[in-house]
């Protein structure tokens, strides 16, 4: 299955194309992509009005809702081994996130940016659901590997340092640099794991990622770029080992937050669809 980066790039491309087309449909119809496709005989009878309730709007709505339903295939794969022979759990998660990004985007165009009434309730529930899903993916990455796997990864990185730096990898100066990067990442052992320490771990990890990315420390600037990059990864792996139990706990908190919004979103969306079909509202 494609990587999350590929999915995100595709979502950005789709979003930009939709924003352009929406603007042109509202302000310069002949220059819209939809109008050009219609001129070439693609869906020649389609009404190009962007107003809610029109044909184009309905197409966006049904497609967006369909993609939101597809997000549930990840849950089926994870809990019931549905499609076990097709891709990995992480690949299904990436597809889950992609559908969770494109679906709400299409719903936004479905209502032509007029988010109000019942649609607003469903839309903002959807926004909270997919935004929390992105955060949940970050937590998932932290706990997907077991401690033994992470420790083997650290050993492999140490071997890389020795190959790249030679004897310098064993000097006190490099070891101090390594410890500095680990501290920069925010890795710090916690005592008792509770809600407040877990939240502190989350904030420390996110701040640590930013510090690793934008640090201009002279010790790091002096290292070859591949070694610097691998050193950052080493620190993050070390942090994942330190915080493994905390991130497992935070996944429980996250599920308690994410799932109710997702269920509520579907309930309100179904009510909206039934109302629209029966009463044309």
Whether the per-residue pLDDT at 281 is higher than 60: the answer is no
**Residue 186 pLDDT > 80, yes or no?**
yes
Q: What is the dihedral of CA 215, 220, 225, 226, to 10 degrees?
A: -100
Residues found in the chain: 281
Average pLDDT over residues 135-158: 74
> What's the pLDDT tens digit per position in 82-111?
767 777 777 887 888 888 888 888 888 888
Strand (E) or helix (H) holding 10: helix 4-27
- What per-residue confidence (pLDDT) applies to 138? 65
- pLDDT above 60 (res 121): yes
Q: Is the pLDDT of residue 207 over 60?
A: yes
Burial level of 135, CB count in 10 A (0-12/13-18/19+)? middle
Q: Residue 153 — φ and ψ, nearest 5°?
A: -65, -40
45 pLDDT above the threshold of 80 = no
Residue 250, pLDDT above cutoff 80: no
**What pLDDT is stored for residue 204 in this prediction?**
84
pLDDT at 28: 82
Which of 147-156, 186-195, 230-239, 257-266 comes out lowest in average pLDDT?
A: 186-195
pTM of the model: 0.62
Please report the pLDDT score of residue 16 as a whole number: 93
Question: pLDDT confidence of 63, banded at 50, 70, 90?
Answer: very high
The reported pLDDT for the residue numbered 44 is 75
pLDDT-derived band at 276, boundaries 50, 70, 90: confident
Count CA atoms closer than 13 A to 151's CA, side-chain side.
Answer: 5
Separation of alpha carbons 110 and 62, rounded Å: 9
């Amino acid at each position: 299955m494609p990587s999350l980066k590929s999915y995100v790039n595709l979502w950005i491309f789709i979003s930009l194309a939709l924003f352009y087309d929406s603007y042109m449909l509202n302000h310069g119809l002949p220059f819209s992509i939809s109008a050009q496709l219609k001129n070439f005989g693609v869906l020649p009878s389609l009404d190009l009005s962007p107003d809610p309730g029109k044909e184009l709007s309905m197409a966006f709505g049904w497609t967006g809702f369909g993609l939101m339903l597809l997000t549930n295939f990840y849950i089926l794969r994870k809990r019931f081994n549905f499609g076990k022979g097709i891709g990995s759990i992480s690949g299904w998660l990436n597809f889950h996130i992609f559908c969770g990004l494109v679906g709400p985007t299409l719903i936004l165009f479905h209502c032509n940016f007029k988010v109000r009434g019942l649609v607003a309730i469903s839309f903002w529930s959807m926004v909270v659901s997919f935004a929390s899903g992105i955060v949940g993916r970050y937590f998932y990455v932290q706990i997907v590997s077991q401690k033994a796997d992470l420790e083997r990864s650290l050993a492999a990185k140490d071997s890389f340092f020795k190959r790249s730096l030679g004897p310098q990898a064993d000097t006190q100066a490099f070891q101090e640099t390594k410890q500095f990067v680990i501290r920069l990442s925010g890795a710090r052992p916690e005592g008792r794991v509770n809600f407040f320490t877990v939240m502190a771990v989350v904030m420390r990890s996110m701040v640590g990622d930013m510090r690793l990315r934008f640090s201009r420390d002279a010790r790091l600037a002096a290292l070859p770029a591949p070694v610097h990059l691998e050193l950052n990864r080493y620190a993050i792996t070390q942090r994942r080992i330190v915080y493994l139990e905390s991130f497992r706990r935070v996944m429980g908190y996250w599920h308690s937050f994410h799932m109710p919004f997702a269920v509520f979103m579907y309930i309100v969306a179904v009510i909206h669809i039934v109302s629209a079909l029966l009463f044309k509202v």
